[in-house]
Structure 1
């Protein structure tokens, strides 16, 4: 097609995308439904038949002939005569369907037949059919089929002279509506000849309008300059779509040329004939992502279509386009374009052509998804291997510094908002990571305004998604002050679906993969697929454990896709970390990473997987994932390894930065709380050198000393100490042990603790610390700090004093020198137990003093136990304290040979056994 038609098609497509395309359908389009048994007449055929009945020959005015027929034979015969020419059984053609698949804002026809309505009904096109003023007032759909000349069912066809003269009176609303369309829409005339009297009516309306209106086009196949000038005089551009094709049958040439013309308007590929056009096509597909710093592989796949990824041993994806593969809904035309693209890449690889800028731009966009090349042929020497054109050498990763900051949890020196949306997004994301929600929200508002101004709709959707996430935190997060939560309570979130579907069609098409992500559809799909993959991998593990063989060609696929997802989130600043589907993907990815190493002696994770363990997985779930690496009964116990490089990164960068951020935050139990627990747990599984271990303990000391910690932080440290000793028999340097113990004591002395820390210290949550001290044969010698502690404890309530005595003082007693032991013992036996109201506390503490030889057995202890058991039986109650009593009594019986507790021991055993049976039969 010539340049004139190419430009027209571009304008028509743009108008259609903007919802401003009107297609006028004339009688020529109805002729596309002609078949061997059913044919529609031309206007000439119809008029000639009317003239035969009227017995006239010379009259050339069609409207006058119709008027004469009406007057001669009456209304009934007039309608009956015309209806017989338009059989209802006639079927829509491919041209009819294609017109509606283009989805113009409005289709207007001067035809009376019902083919267009039938096209709508049979294909479920969402159009209101309007045949009268009344139906126009009732029309509610945006898209309409306007039958401007009525139809037989409504008994209001426009054909005879009076109908045209009285059109304004009979169809006032329709006329005004159509005139408004002519003045505001790009118009495409199909099925009209330039001398069609229906077209002349429309041209007459056009003449009354301003010259400043959208373009109008009439499509035909006759190359006549006179008609082109005639139409141009009325503001219509004549398009000869058949060029110089000659055929004696006009309709055939017209229909054959009209189909590819309409397909181009629909956006299908029909005119890519050069390498430049191929590159332009591929680039235009990918151009929507140019503002992103990273792109999801899934987005590339959905945007390009007809492609997949293969993965090398380095876990980097290579793009491969389909050729002969059988896939659902394969687009052969698009595959042909991609095949030509591949042939072009072969020439690049062979050095036959230079790399043009447009191809470099394509490479740069694909590289943002971590893609390292494009497959151009099968490797002839190695089966199941592909030859590909690598393009990493042509590119430079500009986002590395930004990515490193987030991987390191380093927000000491963050960038600030600027006119560059990407920089501002990273700034807002950093604020979000620091729990500065109000500042992040304010920044995001500015980003949205800038994105709208710059018409950067890709980043606009990301910004609106982040805005919604921040708004949720500001409304409901416990870390946000109450007055701030009230301030944001009435602010509404963005309706992303409404924004998306209000966009023009071409923007929706280009942004669809971005919208799928921010609407969370893509994430849910990814979460489902990876859960299914995990099931298959778990089944494979069972086969391997039974001695079978499993073949997997894409062993690095999940590693590459997981890295790509994390890169996408961090590089683009997507605030998605609390989303359940996202956490599920990370949890399953780590599970798969572990399972795929079932046949290896040692198991390890890459940097991104370790980062995900720390940031995106709940602590309880992380422990469950790694249970087999520290569980005493597991065959894989102790087989988890962290490389020296990664150990250094976690110990000296991640852990240090996390603790710094945790200590700086003014939010109690901020987001770093879970990250720190996970980091300590991951470090607990790895074998460290003495120097590395001392570094970790030094950071832990800082955390306990300066932090306002939770019980779970203490529990994590305790687990770390226990696992390290059980797996690797590693020892803590004595000075560090002493420092840790003194920090706990000083917290009590100076009352520098929150409620959680007090409970952790007084309930022995750091029991392994004292166990380490005992194993290290440490002798605690700081008499002054012990005396201060005991002085402070004198003022504590009796119940609290007992808790601290049995969970801290006795542990201190066991590791102290003789002088301190004497001081602690004197304090312990001076506690007036008879004044303690809780009987079970008196019993347990008394027994503990006996166990550690701090006092002799007293018969009153047995009486206390008997009274306590009797009380529980009378009240038909069970107390968990019986378990502790049982353990203490069993120890005295089995290790000390004490027979004093025989009777009460049997009673306690019976009550414990009964409680255990009760648990077994419980359905709750």
Structure 2
């Protein structure tokens, strides 16, 4: 082999060693040269000290092993160990070479040294090693990496040093010997800190030669020496490949070349998200699909993967897309298959991520199906049985380095959140200082840093990962932090004298996280808390298509359920967030049309509050002249879709009227427009009135108070239907002149107030009823008589209802009285 060929050989050899380390089949033998930097004697120095004890200043050219045996025979075992322990003291300190070797976390670390320096490094690094100093230790070892002191340990008084020790090694350490001989067959072996003339190297060579057919390459590291072709070829024939590190790293010296070599063979951890990029030509494709809630694109991608012989990475992607489609069972099944296949292929990152996703997978059933329920129960048991920490330690070392972020994700999220909160608090403190001095204000810098934390967390940690409920809270809290920064910005601008509308641009990832992770009521609460008294309005980046996002979400919101579903929550969250966004007429109309479709499909039962919030907030902006281009007359379509549903199902929709102010607010807005009803709409209102007449009296009054009275003003341009509604209201008012209960009086007073408000009743009629009921209920107390004919619990319950009704009518009387003062 010439010099140039050797240069290529050493590069290839280091690649082979790195591969063995990556795949956990690397073992290292460490000799006395490793401890030399700790000022411990080398082999020759040790022999010189023993020779002085035996012969004084007389020099004898004697075999080292024989000399050691003579010393033992001359002075006895006790002085023998006493002398060696003085030369290799317990208080010697490990050096960086010990640390760097331990950090490699290799399968087997084997040393012929007797000192305790590797043990110091193991304890300092907190690594898990089975420490083996004698045969009795090897039997109790576990699955952790092994640190084997093959020549015993001074603290055990069982070292191999004398000629007899080497000759009887097989009898003294039979289990250790057999294990080490097996290492040469299974692992790539490196010899560090030895000289080629070392007796220990000769012993290893003899073992290698006895198993030459099955032995993997053995690399001898020789520092601070140039390539010696004859020496190299000689040892190559014995399956010992010398790596002259000076030829690869330059002339650095023994210690520095060893440090460079250990750094070179370390696995180079890569970000797992980079592996995911291989699926797409660009991560933007996946990001756009997810951030736009593009479910059709997700289904198409799943079909593409299913139609070809896909890789485990493709299958991981498929499970991730199933999860986003709300198909937890299908996602779990794909992950089960993928985890097994990835393990067979030794694709450990996909294996671990698959188990992680299975562990975090939300498993719900959407219909009452016994078979599906049994399947879910089975999968749930499998899910909770996954021990991610235990699985982590089954990974090869280099994969642990890559996937450590995933194991520690909870801690990482907590740390990131704390940092974001600190940035918010700093912004508040800076604002306080800025308000009382001429100092500069670093709001934008703090906000940028917080946003960077959020975005890096989202894009780095959640590529193809399913996050659990606890991890979702990170994004909920980050949303609140963003809102805090926006509110701080508003205060800053006001103090600068800027009272104009303040636009805040929302990015696609912010919109996604708000819609995906926030609870609907919590989102309303946050928005009201931070922006109710401000002139902030949200804008979106140019490439964000709100209509497309809402259409995508509504395409999956197709069923009404007793419980909130993923897609009903997304639908409502979109309406709530859009209430604060500056919309053009086209976008507003498109949102209204989609809401109308859901009313027509009879699946908006739990979404009227969110729709009402959207309509009302947009109207408030219109009144405040924050924006003026929106025309709200299109909302009449929503009204008549609702009327149609109300006539079909009074019982179901009375709950909507009672629990939500949506229709009341919508009717108020439409009253501001001069609407001319077409024939179909007039017929629909007349049909509604006719059907109400057939309902019980208390229901008629309820619908009149919560719907018909507000419907009446928009019929003003259509005399026929206007008179029909008016006639109905007067009729229901007149026939309820005689009432018996507080509840009936309360409903009648409210009806009188509403009919006066829409100018069907005169002020005199209103005042008459008001004073009649005021005199009746002012200073009145509910009866507190009990009898023995009914259970006391029933009587107490009725008493509570009466007291509640009395409280309500007194509040209503007060409100009516206040309305007189405004006339």
Give the structure-1-normalised TM-score: 0.70
1:759 Cα deviation after fit: 1.0
Q: Secondary structure at the match of 1:189?
A: strand
Equivalent positions of 1:785-800 (< 5 A) are 785=684, 788-789=687-688, 792-793=691-692, 796=695, 800=699
Q: Secondary structure at the match of 1:605?
A: strand
Superposed displacement of residue 603, structure 1: 1.8
Q: What is aligned with 1:8?
A: 13
2:574 is matched with which residue: 644, 654, 679? 679
Q: 1:203 to 1:43 in 2, by over 3 A?
A: farther
Structure 1 residue 21 and structure 2 residue 21: aligned?
A: no
Q: Residue 823 of structure 1: which of 719, 725, 728 is its match? A: 728
Q: Quick one: distance in 1 between partners of 2:116 and 2:270?
A: 42
Alpha-carbon distance change, 575 to 422 in structure 1, aligned in 2, over 3 angstroms: farther
Structure 2 length-normalised TM: 0.77
Deviation at 1:509, TM superposition (A): 2.9
Contact 2:65 2:163 in 1 (8 A): yes
> What residue is the counterpart of 1:885 in the other structure?
809
SS in 1 for 2:382: coil
Do the aligned residues in 2 keep the contact of 1:530 with 1:589 (CA within 8 Å)?
Answer: no
Equivalent residue for 2:428? 538
The alpha-carbon distance between structure 1 residues 436 and 44, as it changes in their structure 2 partners (threshold 3 A), is closer
- 1:722 matched to 2:616: yes
5 Å-filtered alignment, 1:161-180, equals 161-180=163-182
* CA distance 1:160–1:735, change in 2 (3 Å): closer
Q: Residue 285 of structure 1 contacts residue 510 of structure 1 at CA under 8 Å; is this kept in 2?
A: yes
Q: CA, structure 1 residues 569+658, in 2 after alignment: closer, same or farther (shift >3 Å)?
A: farther
Q: Distance in 1 between matches of 2:570 and 2:153?
A: 71
Cα drift, residue 771 of structure 1: 1.9
1:768 aligns with 2:665: yes
For residues 60 and 457 of structure 2, the distance between their equivalents in structure 1, rounded to whole angstroms, comes to 78
Q: Tell whether 2:330 aligns with 1:439.
A: yes
SS at match of 1:642: strand
Distance in 1, matches of 2:645 and 2:342, equals 51
1:589 and 2:482 correspond? yes
Partner of 1:190: 192
How far residue 266 of structure 1 moved from its aligned partner, in angstroms, is 3.6
Q: Which residue of 2 aligns with 1:406?
A: 290
Give the structure 2 partner of residue 415 of structure 1: 300
What displacement does 1:807 show?
A: 1.9
How far apart are the structure 1 equivalents of 2:588 and 2:96? 75
Distance 1:146 1:13, change over 3 A: same
TM-superposed CA distance for 1:784, in Å, is: 5.0
Structure 2 equivalent of residue 523 of structure 1? 413
- 2:55 paired residue number: 52
Number of the residue aligned with 2:550: 655
**Compared with structure 1, are the counterparts of its residues 501 and 872 closer, same or farther at alpha carbon in structure 2 (3 Å cutoff)?**
farther
Structure 1 CA distance for aligned equivalents of residues 247 and 538 of structure 2: 71
Contact 1:33–1:39 (CA<8 Å) still a contact in 2?
no
SS in 2 for 1:742: helix
Question: For the residues of structure 1 that align with 2:444 and 2:584, how far apart are their CA atoms?
Answer: 37
User: Which residue of structure 2 aligns with residue 385 of structure 1?
Assistant: none
Q: Report the secondary structure of 2:276's partner residue.
A: coil
Q: Is the 8 A contact 1:474 1:488 kept in 2?
A: no
Per mean C-alpha deviation after superposition, the further-off stretch among 660-669 and 100-109 is: 660-669
2-structure distance, mates of 1:563, 1:260: 41
Distance in 2, Cα, partners of 1:734 & 1:289: 46
Identify which range, 474-483 or 804-813, moves more after superposition. 474-483
Report the CA distance shift for 1:880/1:543 in structure 2 as closer, same or farther (over 3 A). farther
Aligned residues: 759
Distance 1:473 1:173, change over 3 A: same
1:610-669 Cα offsets, whole Å, 9 max, x none, are 4444444333443344437863xx3x33x41536958x932x323333333323677863
- Partner residue of 2:769? 857
Q: Deviations over 1:846-888 (max 9, x none)?
A: 2224433667639985687479732379979695545542343
The C-alpha deviation readout for 1:440-487, integer Å capped at 9, x for no partner, is 3334445545655666555555544433332x3348999996455334
Contact 1:47–1:62 under 8 Å retained in 2: no
Quote the offset at 1:580 in angstroms. 0.9
CA deviation digits over 1:20-75, x for unaligned, max 9? Answer: 3333334444444337xx887536425644763899968x4444454455555554
1:705 aligns with 2:708: no
Matching residue within 13, 31, 39 for 1:34: 39
| Matching residue of 2:790 | none
1:840 aligns with 2:730: no
- 2: CA distance between counterparts of 1:566 and 1:152? 54
The 1-side partners of 2:747 and 2:707 are apart by 13
Q: Do the aligned partners of residues 605 and 451 (structure 1) sit closer, same or farther apart at CA in structure 2, a change above 3 Å counting?
A: farther
Could you tell me which residue of structure 2 aligns to residue 394 of structure 1?
A: none
Query: Which of 272, 291, 312 in structure 1 is aligned with 2:275?
Result: 291
Measured in 2, the distance between the counterparts of 1:690 and 1:430 equals 33
Deviation of the 1:236 alpha carbon: 1.7
| 2:468 is equivalent to residue 580 of structure 1 | no
1:617 aligns to 2:518 (yes or no): yes
Decide whether aligned partners of structure 1 residues 828 and 209 sit closer, same or farther in structure 2, where only a CA change above 3 A counts.
Answer: farther
Corresponding residue for 1:500?
A: 392
Where does residue 744 of structure 1 map in the other structure? 642
Please give the alpha-carbon distance, in whole angstroms, between the structure 2 residues aligned to 1:97 and 1:613.
47
Moved more, 418-427 or 696-705: 418-427
Alignment of structure 1 residues 444-463 onto 2, 5 Å: 444-448=335-339, 451-452=342-343, 457-458=348-349, 461-463=352-354
1:773-819 deviations in Å (ceiling 9; x for gaps): 44446687966545644554466566545433432344345655123
Distance in 1, matches of 2:458 and 2:75, equals 80
Distance 2:581 2:109 in 1: 70
SS of the residue corresponding to residue 300 of structure 2 reads coil
- In 2, the alpha carbon distance for the partners of 1:488 and 1:440 equals 11
Alpha-carbon distance between aligned partners in 2 of 1:708 and 1:244, rounded to the nearest angstrom: 72
Distance 1:109 1:894 in 2: 94
Q: Partners in 2 of 1:127 and 1:425 — Cα distance?
A: 34
**1:871 partner SS:** coil
8 Å CA contact 2:506–2:538 kept in 1: the answer is no
**SS of match in other structure, 1:188:** strand
CA shift at 1:227, angstroms? 5.3
Query: Once the 2 structures are TM-superposed, how far is the Cα of residue 890 of structure 1 from its aligned partner?
Result: 2.9
- 1:741-772 deviations in Å (ceiling 9; x for gaps): 33333323222775xx4311245622112323
Q: Distance in 2 between matches of 1:101 and 1:188?
A: 16
Write the distance in 1 (CA, Å) between the matches of 2:47 and 2:187. Answer: 31
What does residue 379 of structure 1 align with? Answer: none
CA distance in 2 between counterparts of 1:122 and 1:399 reads 41
Secondary structure, counterpart of 2:200 in structure 1:
helix
- How much does 1:80 deviate? 5.1
1:640 is paired with a residue whose SS is: strand
Distance 1:563 1:97 in 2: 36
CA pair 411-752 structure 1, distance change in 2 beyond 3 A: farther
Aligned-CA RMSD value:
4.6
* Contact 1:18–1:504 under 8 Å retained in 2: yes
Q: Offset at 1:822?
A: 0.8
Q: SS state of the match for residue 595, structure 2?
A: helix
Q: Distance in 1 between matches of 2:369 and 2:668?
A: 36
Q: Any unmatched runs of 5+ in structure 1?
A: 247-252, 270-280, 295-364, 369-396, 898-924
Would the aligned equivalents of 2:133 and 2:150 in 1 still touch at CA under 8 Å?
Answer: yes
Structure having the higher helix fraction is 2
Partner of 2:791: none
Tell me what 1:803 maps to. Answer: 702
Alpha-carbon shift at residue 844 of structure 1 (Å): 0.5
Q: Is the 8 A contact 1:523 1:581 kept in 2?
A: yes
Pick closer, same or farther for the CA change 1:173–1:653 going to 2, 3 Å: closer
